[in-house]
Chains A and B, each alone.
Chain A
Amino acid sequence: MNPSLFSADGLVGLIFLLTIAITIAGGIIACNSERLVRAVAGLMICFIGVGALYYFLNSPFVAMMQVLIYVGAVAVTISFAIMLADPEQSSQHGPINALSGPFGFITAALLTVGLALIALKTMWGDEPKVNDGSVKIIGTQLLTDYSMVFELVSIVLLISIIGALVIAREGRKS
């Protein structure tokens, strides 16, 4: 039966469509805007949409992380980077081929077709949930089974810091 638009299910469906629209719209803004800051803003919109989609997929934790990390940290970092960079430089275009637009479109279309073909063939059944993805379980896992990976992340951070320092220092020299 068709749920009525104003029933609870109908509202959920409406919100779902809305999040998809937000996601796509954000993506289009990110791709098409001339100015980088606007593109970042578009990206943020897109990320919010994706976060909402995660919520629909019953993963509130992931949704929260998406908003925190991508909309919060990543987008802000990119904004900083843009502001720190020479604004003159960002407006300089490389020699863009007239074909690059259609070429990019065809590429994107190919990828979409490929992934869609696989997705359509999948029997999206009710896979048993491994766990409920709650913060508690993730925390426990991180400190038991995944403790070594957790430690390794610290090396990643260490290398990032060293790398940043080295490159910054070299830059200052010149």
Chain B
Amino acid sequence: MEHTVSYLVLIPLLPLLGALLMGLMYLVSCKGKAFPEKIYGIIACIGPALTFILALKVYFGLKGLPEDSRYLVQDVFTWIKVGDLDISMGFFADPLSSLMLLFVTLIGTLIHVYSVGYMAKDENFGKFFAYLNLFLGSMLILVLGSSPVVMFVGWEGVGLCSYLLISYYSTETNNVIAGNKAFIVNRIGDLGFVLGMSLLFWAIGSGGFDYMSLRANAEQIGPGVGLAICLLLFVGATGKSAQIPLYVWLPDAMAGPTPVSALIHAATMVTAGVYMVARFSFIYAEVPAAGTVVAWIGILTALLAAIFGCFQRDIKKILAYSTVSQLGYMFAGVGVAAYSAGIFHVFTHAFFKALLFLGAGSVIYALHHEQDIWRMGGLKNKMPITYWTMLIGCLALAGCPPFSGFFSKDEILFMALASGHGGVWLVGVLVAAMTAFYTFRMFFVVFHGKPRDEHAYEHAHESPKVMTVPLIVLAVGACFAGYLNIPSIFGGHLGVSHWLAPSLTEHHPHVSVWLEVLAVATSIAAFGCGIFFAWKKFYVATAEEPFYTGLANFAYNKFMVDELYHYLLVVPYKLLGTAISKSIEPFVTDGPVKVVVWLYGALANAFKVVQVGYVRVYAIYMVIGLSVLSIFISRSLNL
């Protein structure tokens, strides 16, 4: 069934070693003269590039195997062994993780290269790349872990790196607050994940806690426990993948450097939740109710984020909300048990969203860190490469055929309709229209019309090659990634879905061709409507930011969700804490603790008397000890 190989461990290890090396170099040089950026750049890019080659090796290794035994495993060492709990630090590649592996390493490599240009002349250049490599290593552990526990190691690792990189520009208070927010919100999610994992272990862990054994034993889980496990795991996913109610951290996370937003907060880490649900598809398939919850939360998140996206003025926040929205789609996909469709959207989204972020980064870089779209405009001529690649990215995001986003999004919507989740489908179509609207609102305002800030416009210039080349490569991906999974209606044969089939527990419903045609047609119509309104409103030279009133203003302020959380959760929590510390703590807990502390200190002082320092006294202690032992033991002798 499974094939043991020896190179899997290298995949996470290479970037981790790079991180270690660069971290040490940075620490060593942080007081004196820093190492030249070139050295860091080369070390930073070499690890990810090698992992991409290894990812290809994994892919072809799997492809060479018969379909029902496409598993590569490597147990590095036994990590924890207590009772039934026998966790090995092991890695595991199947079609699902190999697909994740391919795009994570490819996009990771490209973004490393791009960052060399973007972060140039940053004073903590070495630290940045150490973090970035550390992130990639953790992400690969997450993807390749052979058991939920190993996955959790990666899960926490990426969370840590996300925190470190969001607050990377730590001289500004707001950035640090954003990092803290991401960390704390993720903690809530992680708690759910840990609880779910523990429950899973309690239920079927005794038969082995790696995915293969879990999958084999999945049927033994009762429906109630299964529902609890699924929902708890999904709480973890809402944290990491920014879904209702824990999505609030992602827009703030844009405080980090743009390549970080592209790599971590768009292409890879935030999709970990979707990957996790797909990974546990064997449990989710057992409890359809959990799937329905996931699907509805997902699609409602998509709707909410799309609404917010229409009113933002910070280019990165627009993209952030679109990420939240697209993640919602992915959850809708895995929620309606179309795991391969969800994962496929993860795959295509990684390309076009990374492209959009890097393009936005290029714009921001050209305008000297200006992020407000209402201070941009007319950049089409100044930055042709950025313009064209961004156009491709926007078309893919908006779901324009035949770009990649169209195929993956359409597959999710179709599967929602086919599996009988009509409501989800309807909301999804609405969101698709809104997506097209806000995407092109941003695009037209940034690149067309007249320059709104003449001074910045004068100094704008195309970015260096090290940044544009990754853009072009990603643009190619955003164009053509969709062709890997063309549905039969367009004459394809769903290549990715078939590739993923052995890893997932899903059933393809058989429905009439007309339903499929209906789904495709509504998708295209939604895209058309969205882009039409955007064109009408913003494709004019003198378009200005509208003045928002009423409901629009409410949406502009993101429905006051942050404030709501603040007054609903943070303030009462603080009040409760203050109340406890003022009333209960001094009397109920502090009192006994202080008494114990005092007693213990007194006892220790009393014991000091025994340590007199005379060797004869110590000798007497020994003899007394021996005597007491011998008297006691003589009592237990048999005669």
Contact = CB atoms under 8 A, between A and B. Distances in A.
A and B touch in the complex (CB under 8 A): yes
Interface of A: 94, 100, 103-104, 107-108, 110-111, 113-115, 117-118, 121
B639 A111 contact: no
B633 to A, nearest CB: 7
Nearest to B633: A118
Given A103-B620, A107-B620, A110-B624, 19 more contacts: A100-B616, A104-B620, A107-B624, A107-B627, A110-B623, A110-B628, A111-B626, A111-B630, A114-B626, A114-B627, A114-B628, A114-B629, A114-B630, A114-B634, A117-B634, A118-B630, A118-B633, A118-B634, A121-B634
B627 to A, nearest CB: 4
Contacts of B627: 107, 110-111, 113-114
B614 A111 contact: no
Contacts of B606: none
Given A94-B614, A121-B639, A111 B634 contact: no
Nearest to A120: B634
Contacts of A117: 630-631, 634-635
B595 interface: no
Contact of A113 (B620, B631, B637, B639): B631
A110 B620 contact: no
20 contacts: A104-B620, A107-B620, A107-B623, A110-B624, A110-B627, A110-B631, A111-B626, A111-B627, A113-B631, A114-B627, A114-B629, A114-B630, A114-B631, A114-B634, A117-B634, A117-B635, A118-B633, A118-B634, A118-B637, A121-B637
Contacts of B626: 111, 114
A107 B639 CA distance: 27
A157 B635 CA distance: 42
Interface in B32-70: none
A108 B629 CA distance: 14
A4 B616 CA distance: 47
A100 B620 CA distance: 10
A100 B615 CA distance: 13
Interface size grouping (class) on chain B: 10 to 19
B92 to A, nearest CB: 50
Nearest to B614: A94
A33 B633 CA distance: 36
Contacts of A115: 630
A114 to B, nearest CB: 3
B617 to A, nearest CB: 8
Contacts of B631: 110, 113-114, 117
B437 to A, nearest CB: 87
Interface in B579-631: 614, 616, 620, 623-624, 626-631
Contacts of B623: 107-108, 110-111
A107 B633 CA distance: 18
Q: Can you list the 8 inter-chain pairs with the closest CB atoms, starting with the nearest?
A: A114-B630, A117-B634, A110-B627, A114-B627, A111-B627, A114-B631, A118-B634, A121-B637
Nearest to A123: B639
Nearest to B622: A107
Contacts of A108: 623
A103 B614 CA distance: 14
Interface string B137-162: 00000000000000000000000000
A148 B626 CA distance: 32
Which of A114, A117, A121 has most chain B Cβ within 10 Å? Answer: A114
A94 B614 CA distance: 10
Interface string B338-365: 0000000000000000000000000000
Nearest to A109: B627
A110 B621 CA distance: 12
B260 to A, nearest CB: 61
Which of A103, A117, A121 has most chain B Cβ within 10 Å? Answer: A117
A94 B613 CA distance: 12
Contacts of A121: 634, 637, 639
Nearest to A115: B630
A103 B623 CA distance: 12
A121 B633 CA distance: 11
A36 to B, nearest CB: 16
Nearest to A110: B627
B630 to A, nearest CB: 3
Nearest to B635: A117
A107 to B, nearest CB: 5
A118 B630 CA distance: 7
Contacts of B628: 110, 114
A115 B623 CA distance: 11
A118 B639 CA distance: 11
Contacts of A113: 627, 631
A169 to B, nearest CB: 26
Contacts of B620: 103-104, 107
Nearest to A111: B627
A115 B630 CA distance: 7
A136 B414 CA distance: 99
A111 B631 CA distance: 8
Interface string B227-242: 0000000000000000
B599 to A, nearest CB: 28
B631 to A, nearest CB: 5
A88 to B, nearest CB: 21
Contacts of B633: 118
A113 B627 CA distance: 8
Contacts of B639: 121
Nearest to B634: A117
Which of A108, A110, A113, A115 has most chain B Cβ within 10 Å? Answer: A110
Nearest to B630: A114
Which of B627, B628, B631, B637 has most chain A Cβ within 10 Å? Answer: B627
A121 B626 CA distance: 18
A100 B617 CA distance: 9
A114 B624 CA distance: 10
A152 B175 CA distance: 67
B638 to A, nearest CB: 9
Interface string B422-465: 00000000000000000000000000000000000000000000
Contacts of B624: 107, 110
A44 to B, nearest CB: 22
Nearest to A112: B627
Which of A107, A118, A121 has most chain B Cβ within 10 Å? Answer: A107
B626 to A, nearest CB: 7
Contacts of A110: 623-624, 627-628, 631
Contacts of B635: 117
Contacts of B637: 118, 121
A46 to B, nearest CB: 18
B235 to A, nearest CB: 63
B616 to A, nearest CB: 8
B620 to A, nearest CB: 5
